[in-house]
Amino acid sequence: MGFPQPERWASVLRRSLVTSVAVVVVLLLAACGSQLDPQTVANAGGQQGGDGALNADAGLGGDTGAGPAGDAGAGPGGTGGPGGTGGTGSTGGTGDGSGSTGGTGGSNGGKGGATGGAKAASCDGFKNQTGVTDDKIVIANASDISGPVPGIFEATQQAVRAYVEFFNSQGDVCGRKLEVLNLDSRADAGADQQAYAKACDEAFAAVGSMSAFDSGGAGVAQGCGLPDIRAVATSSERGSCSTCFATYATQPDLVPDSYAKWFLKEYPDAAAHVGVLYINAGAAPENVKYQSDVWERAGWGVDYVQGIDVAEFNFAPYVQQLKDKGIKMVIYTGPYQNTVKLQQAMQQQGYDPDVYMQDPTIYDGRYVSQAGSLADNVFVYSTTDLFENKSNPEMQTYLSWLQQVKPGAIPNYYGLYAWSAARLFVEKAIALGGKLSRSTMIAELKKTSGWTGNGLHVPQNVGGRTTSPCTSVIKYSGGSWHKVSPGSYMCGHVVKAN
Best-predicted range by mean pLDDT (32-46, 82-96, 190-204, 299-313)? 190-204
- Do the strands 205-207 and 228-232 form a parallel or antiparallel pair, or are they unpaired? parallel
> What's the chain's average pLDDT?
83
Q: Which of 40-44, 194-198, 363-367 bottoms out in mean pLDDT, i.e. has the lowest?
A: 40-44
d(CA 258, CA 30): 11
d(CA 241, CA 224): 12
Residues sharing a CB contact under 8 Å with residue 74, sequence separation 6 or more, in sequence order = 80, 81, 108, 112, 113, 114, 166, 170, 393, 397, 400, 401
Once rounded to an integer, what is the mean pLDDT over residues 424-435? 98
What domains can you pick out in the chain, each with its CATH number? Answer: 27-58+253-385+467-496 (3.40.50.2300), 105-251+388-446 (3.40.50.2300)
Tens digits of per-residue pLDDT, 31-53?
333 333 334 333 332 333 333 33
**In this predicted structure, what is the pLDDT of residue 118?**
87
Query: For residue 167, what pLDDT band results from cuts at 50, 70 and 90?
Result: very high
Note if the pTM is more than 0.85: no
**In this predicted structure, what is the pLDDT of residue 109?**
52
**In this predicted structure, what is the pLDDT of residue 43?**
37
**In this predicted structure, what is the pLDDT of residue 382?**
96
Residue 204 in this model has a pLDDT that exceeds 50: yes
Percent of the chain surpassing pLDDT 90: 67
3 or 196, which is more confident?
Answer: 196
Query: For residue 110, what pLDDT band results from cuts at 50, 70 and 90?
Result: low
Closest-CA residue to 56 (of 493, 496, 497, 495) = 493
Once rounded to an integer, what is the mean pLDDT over residues 450-456? 97
Whether the Cβ atoms of residue 131 and residue 205 lie closer than 8 Å to each other: yes
Query: For residue 27, what pLDDT band results from cuts at 50, 70 and 90?
Result: very low
